[in-house]
Structure 1
Amino acid sequence: MAEPTWPGEQLVVAAQRGDVDSLTALVTGAHPNVQRFAHFLCATPQDAEDAAQEALIVLYRKIGMLRASGALASWMFRIVRNECLRRARTVLADPYPVPPRPDTAVGSAEEEVLQRLEAGRVAAAVAALPDDQRRVLVMRDIQGYSGRMTADALGLSTAAMKSRLHRARAALRAALAAPAPLADLKESR
């Protein structure tokens, strides 16, 4: 499997300057990574597709707001995460959700809400990690980069990268081990 790559800094800088061809290439090049983020973070495939499209629209419209051209991946991850969380909140706030199509197997409404809440908890737990740990975790576990590529991209030794990844996974595990607010409600029924 080929390593997923993000468009280069030169392309980002050219897109920020308003070059339409560079901007088009940037959006096209970022699309597979954005989709991978969305499918990892959103509760349903439909939400993931919508969140990915929304994130690409934000990229197209607001590339000039990106302060560091090398931070494209983390910027897009935050946009996708926020969009997935927004969609989860919308579902929770909607008292009359759209009924599922008959040709799809869907659990109860309660199970679906709990699944969306869990996806939101994971996204929030990843976002709460310290910056250095979050970058390593995203590159290794979400983007699928090899250990060597991750270490090189972050300017770390392989041992330092592994140490940060271990701390990030442990912190994530601990954050997710805390009881979820609605999980207590489900168990009490």
Structure 2
Amino acid sequence: MGEGRWPDEALVVAAQGGDAESISALVAGSHPHVRRFARSLCATPEDAEDAAQEAVIILYRKIGTLRASRALASWMFRIVRNECVRRSRLLLRQPVPTVEPPTRSVEDDVLHRLEVERVAAAIAALPPDQRHVLVLRDVQGRPGREVADTLGLSTAAMKSRLHRARTAVHAYLEEPHD
């Protein structure tokens, strides 16, 4: 039996007749095909492995009930498909854990407001040319080229002012203020 081929009809007929060696060879020969199909169909690799195992177990137990020996592949694929669908339904029925957004305490709100006020004071302390660049670029989120055009600057000059503004704000925030 070739690696890429399903077990031949004679092996299936012998397995249907109860020959233990034929059943073993049939299971071993079918498993790679069943696994490959399960991987393409199931939601997770774990479900694919479980579905393939289930199909092989059913093959082992019920080979005698297979009516047409040529129908082995379609029978196995139907078993795998049904198992993958069953597992997907189970997955959909599981409740999705909800994550509560962390609630901020009153202290956190006060600290946040104080930090916002400190940043606003730092920006207000900037010279007007630096403040305009910083507000347009960092607060409003405008693209650098647009900021430069709005202020009548070259991109290099806008970047230089923005760098000086950010450095000044950072220095201001590092200083203790009452």
When normalised by structure 2's length, the TM-score is: 0.52
Match of 1:103 in 2: none
Report the aligned-residue RMSD. 1.6
Match of 2:106 in 1: none
Task: List per-residue Cα deviations over 1:7-50 (Å, max 9, x = no partner).
Answer: 00110010011000000000000011000110011011111001
2:20 & 2:3 partners in 1: Cα distance? 27
State yes or no: 1:45 paired with 2:45.
yes
Matches within 5 A, 1:166-181: none
Q: Structure 1 unaligned runs (5+)? A: 98-189
Q: Secondary structure at the match of 1:38?
A: helix
2:4 & 2:71 partners in 1: Cα distance? 16
Task: List per-residue Cα deviations over 1:120-143 (Å, max 9, x = no partner).
Answer: xxxxxxxxxxxxxxxxxxxxxxxx
1:3 & 1:21 partners in 2: Cα distance? 18
Letter of the 1:50 partner, please give it. Answer: D
Match of 1:10 in 2: 10
Letter of the 2:63 partner, please give it. Answer: I
Q: Structure 2 unaligned runs (5+)? A: 98-178
Letter of the 1:68 partner, please give it. Answer: A
Matches within 5 A, 1:40-189: 40-95=40-95
Letter of the 1:11 partner, please give it. Answer: L
State percent identity of aligned pairs.
Answer: 71
Q: Which stretch shows the higher mean deviation, 5-14 or 87-96?
A: 87-96
Query: 1:28–1:3: structure 2 CA closer, same or farther, 3 Å change rule?
Result: closer
Query: 1:95–1:15: structure 2 CA closer, same or farther, 3 Å change rule?
Result: same
Task: List per-residue Cα deviations over 1:46-99 (Å, max 9, x = no partner).
Answer: 1100100000000000111111101111110100000000000111112268xx
1:7 & 1:86 partners in 2: Cα distance? 27
2:96 & 2:30 partners in 1: Cα distance? 35
Aligned length: 96
Letter of the 2:61 partner, please give it. Answer: R
Moved over 4 A (4+): none
Q: Secondary structure at the match of 2:47?
A: helix
Match of 1:34 in 2: 34
Q: Secondary structure at the match of 2:87?
A: helix
2:4 & 2:81 partners in 1: Cα distance? 19
When normalised by structure 1's length, the TM-score is: 0.49
2:7 & 2:96 partners in 1: Cα distance? 41
Match of 1:21 in 2: 21
Higher Rg: 2
1:88 & 1:64 partners in 2: Cα distance? 29
Match of 2:161 in 1: none
